[in-house]
Every structure is written in structure tokens, then in C-alpha cells.
Structure 1
């Protein structure tokens, strides 16, 4: 398997400042999206370095009517007990993400109600169905956030490097995912199955579609290190390649 790291994962936003300690990423169009407005440390910071970076980010965000704080730490490095304690005291939610990769031929055989499930690439004909499905999922984080994301989905529809995939269960829109294409990898992003259609094999069929269409590329994705889907990826023969800690608060 080719050398894959979190640097292969697409992150929406532009670098607006960088020094020897961290990179600051911001997106003026997606101000409510934590993963587009953050600081990523180049090494595990001392408490003084963290507090200095936090003060800078807080001031930057408040000037733009942003109220969240988000930090990424270097991949495959644990957060020290002292820093972890400090983050907790400051009210941050601390977690970690895991990076997974698989070659399509390693994907496990899919068992499910395939005859009831249709997987297709989004076209003009069903773009609005896809948009409504995304809004339904993203409105959990607030209507304003979901409205900001709508433009991203519209831009992605026109992009040559992104494919939007829909799943129908008995002709009802049931799930979706986005595919981010590079020369060597396919990143699965925005993977979701509507709650009422879960446990019907839809997630597996969406992935099977990816594996069948992009047989010669490495498929990659990021999963919450403390969430259930990571266990599914392990059962499906994905390899866990690393982890990355993050901290955030409103």
C-alpha cells in the first residue's frame, strides 16, 4: 500500500497564517464549519504555546463573529497528561480520528438486499434530492450551517475531482457519500445512511460501488476513533494507518 497519511485527506479552507509551531486554516464562506476553521499544531505544544495559540485564534474568530475553537494535533502523537488535563479544565472536548485505507480487491463480500438497493452517481435529475438529503443530515448542526454547506455541494457537483453518490432503497433516497478523486486515491467523505434505512446493507452497497468503479486506486477515509463505524471498517478489511487527536469547544 502506498504511503498514506492525514495529509492525503482533503481539508476545506485556506492557510491564512503559519509559523514554526502551527498552521491556521480559515474559510470565509464556511465560518460555521469547525473543520474549515482551525489551528493545526506541527508539534505537541507546551501549555504556554497552546494558550498563546488559543488567544490568537479566539481573537481572530471573534472579529469574524465566530465562536468556536478547534485544534488538531500532530498525527500519531499522544496528548500528554498535563496538556490533556489543561484542555479539560478549559472546557474542550477532546477526541481522536483514525485514518483507514483499503485496496478494492481486499473489500469483504457484501451480503444484503442488493435487489432493493440502487446506487448511482448524482446527475442534474436527482441533484435536488441529494441536496435535500444533505440538508437533512447537516441541519442537526443548525440550519445556518446546513445553508452554508449547500454552496459547497453545488460546487462539488461541478467539480471534476468530486463525485456525489446516492443510494436508493426501494426507490426512496436512503444514503449518500462523496468521493474525492486524486491520481492514486479515492477518499470517501460525507458518508451517511438515513436512520430509518440503517441495517439494510446500504452502507456496504455504497462502498461496494466505490470498490467496483475504482479498482486501481487506494480507498481512504477518516472515522471517529470512538464511534461504532470504525468497527465496521475493520471487519471489511480496511487497514488503520494512524490517528490524530483534536480538541474543540463552542
Structure 2
């Protein structure tokens, strides 16, 4: 996506078309390439489970990280600056409010898609595979194929988010491929609630809020965050969304 944002020619190997600063085209490139990467990584990592799955996916992330810092054409360890901000037909993307509106609409569409997918036959089969693989196989479905499909869909959506993030910062750093970024995303999920549709969104909002509030108190605000994570894991595994849902149920 950053390659296209800088108007660099994409006809040269390994790219197939010229650079562009049009958001829809950038998003398409990000989604396709991210889905393909997820297909390769998922085909290997999903054959394992538990801690082995975590280690393999982290290993792939570190491989991509070291590949990025060794690619001098893209800035290496210094990263790549994006000279221009992408354009969206009919909108001024340099206006923070309009750019926020674009990101917000994309978020709402992604959540609506996830909600629809969860209620679809595929989503129900995926949930069943998580609970009992043997029964899913007994009705002729393959749990591995279900998980791989979900993994690819997740990768595609994450690629779209990455394109927006790069456009927001107008800079792409190899550290985005490191295990630190993966860890941050896991923190979002734990804070918001594992297995909850709005969990990652609530967790990300809470994380940013804590960063601003606690960051002004101490440079070591991550210690307080660590304590909060420990308390959530021990006493509120449903996260923020789970706590709210439980409170509403109790009052209901």
C-alpha cells in the first residue's frame, strides 16, 4: 500500500500495476496481498494448536520483520515515509474529520460483516468446530478448512486496517511486523473480551484511554496496565464487554 501511495511503478517485478493514490485501489491491494499471506501462513500454522500455534505465527511475524529491515529499497530499519495521503472520491482526506469518517465507516462495515458471518452457516460451523471437532467431521465438514477460511478473512480485514493505519501516520515502520504489535492486538482482545464481537474495539479504546491517563502519571504506565490485565484474566475473563453484559443481566 505504501508503495502505491508514493506513486512508485508497480509494473516492475514483483508488482503488476502502476502506483496510485486512490484509496479504493490501495485497499484492494492490501486486502488481496494480506489474504494471500494469511493463506500461506495459516496453511502451515493451523495444523498445530495451543502454544505451538502461537509460536509458529510469531515466528512468521519475525521472519517478515527481518525481511522488512533488510529491504533497503523500503528504508530498512528506518522505515518508509509516505509522501502523499491517498485520495477518496468526493472527500478531502487531509481533513482529519473526513479521514476519521472514512475509517469509522470501514470499521462499522467490518463489524457488520463479522456479525453477519457469525450468524451464517459458515460461522455456526466454525463455532461448532471450536467446541467439538469430531461432530463437525461426522457431518462431512473439515475443521481445518473452516479455520483456514476464517484465518484468511481475518488477514484480509487486518490488511485493510493496515492500509488505513499507514495512511493515517504517513509512515510505515518494520516494527509493525514485530511481535510487539501482535502483543498489543492481543491486549486489545483481552481487555475488551475474548470471543466478543465488539471486544477488540472496546479493548483498543480502553487501551488508548489508559495510555493517555496513566502516561501522564508515570513513564512506567505499562506496569499498571499489566496489573489490570492480570486482574481481568483472573477475575473477569469476559473483559470489558463481558463485565458490562454481566451487569446488565444482573440488573435485568
Structure (1/2) with the larger helix percentage: 2
Q: After TM superposition, is the score higher than 0.5?
A: no
Shorter-chain TM-score range: under 0.3
TM-score by length of 1: 0.25
Structure (1/2) with the larger strand percentage: 1
Q: Which has the larger radius of gyration?
A: 2
TM-score by length of 2: 0.25
